[in-house]
């Protein structure tokens, strides 16, 4: 269809006019700018949404199970008692004091126990000096006493030395009598041996004379009576010689018996000393046991702290008062390098808990945002639920911390944590992304929507 001439003529001046072209461009740009800005804004929003989804899908946060509880002593409350009882001589602590293990808390009057201890020591010293004396008597060695006894118990040493000298003198006298007898017997033996020698010579001469006389009698030179006389003399001399030899045998037997009696006397002396020595050693062993018991009683008059901790209670506070035997006197709450937290967990949160998991402990007495938390670990989970004061059922768990203090605001400052403080525990059961947390409600709604009521 052809344009009308009038229309062409009307448009032609506007197109051909170069002066109106910039105005036309500006008007076109003004009409397109709002549309571009909107598109850029939508693109930025979409990109931010995509970034948020990616960030939520990749960023993990700790998944925790929370519970509440309180700090309890890591060990049971320690009770200090007096085994024997007695009068309270000195009380050195009061309730609330912090004590160290082995520190003296109180002293019991030890007059009776100290006297028993000193008596035992004296008896042992007396036995030791007697044992030294008896050892010398039994072995025949020189008498000597330990330097400690000579320095600390000179009266015991002097008494035993005097007794030793007296007994040695008695033994010496008895042996001297026997030795005198021995000497006399030896003298008699010597005389008898000389007599035997003389008799032997005489017997030989008489026999020789008899032989000559017998020949003369046979020849008729000498009368037979002379031969008879010589034979009689030979018989007498031989009899005397035989008696002398028998006498010397008796003297030798007597000498041997004398020497045996000397040996028996010394042996009996030493045997008696050894018997007494054995008895004293047995007595000393028994006395040592009594000494240990006496020392233990004296030592127990000082009541010491079995562990480091805080004095919880003192039953008797008046010095001079009577402490009954084996009754509770002082209670100590142990203070150790770690803490134990007893907490409660709802049954719905117990499924993924097991011993060894990491735990964060927040002490409500200290602002968590300022002082932080304590690292800990889960130690025990109760076998069954217990009924709480609010009639709700809980699982009891125990958590142990790595230290017993929080760091203060200044360097090196330690904020103490004591039994009884309330604590909140957060048990780390795993990690989940933020997207999992955001989608969890939707997942629950979906699962419920797809099930029939």
In tens, the pLDDT along 118-141 reads: 888 889 899 999 999 999 988 888
Quote the tokens at residue 84.
């024997």
More confident position, 418 or 336: 418
For residues 441 and 422, what is the distance between their CA atoms, to the nearest angstrom? 32
Q: Per-residue pLDDT averaged across 297-316, rounded? A: 88
Burial of 109 from C-beta contacts in 10 A (0-12 / 13-18 / 19+): middle
Look up the CATH architecture of domain 60-74+336-449: Beta Barrel (2.40)
Angle, to 10 degrees, between the axis of helix 154-219 and the axis of helix 224-300? 170
For residues 437 and 56, what is the distance between their CA atoms, to the nearest angstrom? 9
Quote the tokens at residue 271.
């045997």
Angle, to 10 degrees, between the axis of helix 111-139 and the axis of helix 224-300? 160
For residues 278 and 275, what is the distance between their CA atoms, to the nearest angstrom? 5
Q: Per-residue pLDDT averaged across 152-164, rounded? A: 91
Exposure on the CB side of residue 292, measured as CA atoms within 13 A: 5
pLDDT of residue 378: 92
CATH of 78-109+302-332, one of 1.10.3720.10, 2.60.40.1760, 2.40.50.100, 3.40.50.300: 2.40.50.100
Quote the tokens at residue 226.
């002379």
Q: Which residues are 399's β-sheet partners?
A: 341, 378
Exposure on the CB side of residue 206, measured as CA atoms within 13 A: 20
Query: Where exactly does CATH 2.40.30.170 map onto the chain?
Result: 60-74+336-449
CA-only gyration radius of the chain, Å: 60
More confident position, 126 or 187: 126
Rounded-to-10 torsion of CA 317, 321, 324, 330: 10
344: confidence class by pLDDT, cuts 50, 70, 90: very high
Between CA 419 and CA 76, with CA 421 as vertex, the angle to 5 degrees is 20
In sequence order, what are the residues at sequence separation of 6 or more whose Cβ sits closer than 8 angstroms to the Cβ of residue 204? none
pLDDT of residue 25: 59
pLDDT at 55 over 90: no
By percentage, how much of the chain surpasses pLDDT 70? 85
Which residue carries 């000559």 as its tokens? 212
Quote the tokens at residue 286.
């028994």
Q: Per-residue pLDDT averaged across 129-154, rounded? A: 89
What phi and psi values does residue 408 have, to the nearest 5 degrees? -80, -170
Query: What would the pLDDT profile of 197-232 be if each residue is shown by its tens digit?
Result: 888 888 888 888 888 888 887 877 777 888 788 888
How far CA 76 is from CA of 332, 334, 340, 346, 402, in Å, comes to 9, 7, 11, 26, 19
Contact 136, 142 (CB under 8 A): yes
17: confidence class by pLDDT, cuts 50, 70, 90: very low
pLDDT of residue 215: 82
45: confidence class by pLDDT, cuts 50, 70, 90: confident
pLDDT at 447 over 70: no
More confident position, 96 or 41: 96
pLDDT of residue 443: 65
Query: Where exactly does CATH 2.40.50.100 map onto the chain?
Result: 78-109+302-332
Strand order in the sheet with 328-334: 78-81, 328-334, 309-314, 98-99
Cα of 177 vs its chain's centroid, Å: 63
Length of the chain: 453
Burial of 103 from C-beta contacts in 10 A (0-12 / 13-18 / 19+): middle
By percentage, how much of the chain surpasses pLDDT 90? 18
pLDDT at 441 over 80: no
Which residue carries 């006395």 as its tokens? 287
Out of 128-132, 259-263, 439-443, least confident range: 439-443
Of 106, 89, 73, nearest to 310 by C-alpha is: 73
Angle, to 10 degrees, between the axis of helix 434-449 and the axis of helix 21-58? 80
pLDDT of residue 377: 92
Q: Per-residue pLDDT averaged across 390-407, rounded? A: 89
pLDDT of residue 434: 66
């Amino acid at each position: 269809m052809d344009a009308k001439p009038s229309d062409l003529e009307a448009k032609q001046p506007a197109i051909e006019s170069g002066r109106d072209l910039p105005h036309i461009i500006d008007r076109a740009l003004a009409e397109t700018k709002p549309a571009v800005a909107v598109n850029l804004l939508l693109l930025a929003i979409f990109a931010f949404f995509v970034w948020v989804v990616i960030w939520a899908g990749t960023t993990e946060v700790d998944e925790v199970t929370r519970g509440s509880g309180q700090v309890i002593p890591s060990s049971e409350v320690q009770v200090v008692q007096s085994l024997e009882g007695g009068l309270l001589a000195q009380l050195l602590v009061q309730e609330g004091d912090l004590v160290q293990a082995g520190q003296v808390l109180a002293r019991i009057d030890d007059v009776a126990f100290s006297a028993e201890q000193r008596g035992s020591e004296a008896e042992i010293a007396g036995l030791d000096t007697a044992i030294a004396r008896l050892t010398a008597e039994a072995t025949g060695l020189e008498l000597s006493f330990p330097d400690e006894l000579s320095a600390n118990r000179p009266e015991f040493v002097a008494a035993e030395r005097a007794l030793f000298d007296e007994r040695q003198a008695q033994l010496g006298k008895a042996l001297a009598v026997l030795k005198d007898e021995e000497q006399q017997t030896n003298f008699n033996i010597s005389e008898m041996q000389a007599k035997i020698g003389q008799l032997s010579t005489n017997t030989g001469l008489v026999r020789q004379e008899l032989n000559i006389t017998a020949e003369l009698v046979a020849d008729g030179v000498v009368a037979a009576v002379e031969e008879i006389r010589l034979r009689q003399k030979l018989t007498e001399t031989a009899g005397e010689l035989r008696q002398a030899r028998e006498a010397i045998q008796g003297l030798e037997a007597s000498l041997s018996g004398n020497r045996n009696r000397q040996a028996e006397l010394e042996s009996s002396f030493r045997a008696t000393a050894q018997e007494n020595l054995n008895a004293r050693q047995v007595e000393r062993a028994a006395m040592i046991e009594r000494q240990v018991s006496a020392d233990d009683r004296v030592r127990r008059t000082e009541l010491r702290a079995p562990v480091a901790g805080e004095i919880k209670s003192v039953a008797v506070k008046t010095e001079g008062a009577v402490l009954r035997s084996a009754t509770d006197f002082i209670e100590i709450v142990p203070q150790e390098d770690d803490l134990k937290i007893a907490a409660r967990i709802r049954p719905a949160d117990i499924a993924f808990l097991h011993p060894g998991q990491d735990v964060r402990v927040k002490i409500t007495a200290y602002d968590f945002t300022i002082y932080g938390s304590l690292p800990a670990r889960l130690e025990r989970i109760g076998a069954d639920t217990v009924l709480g004061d609010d009639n709700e059922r809980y699982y009891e768990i125990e958590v142990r911390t790595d230290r017993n203090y929080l760091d203060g605001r200044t360097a090196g400052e330690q904020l103490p944590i004591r039994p009884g403080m309330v604590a909140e525990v957060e048990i780390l059961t795993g990690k989940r992304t933020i997207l999992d947390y955001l989608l969890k409600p939707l997942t629950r709604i979906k699962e419920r929507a797809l099930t029939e009521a």
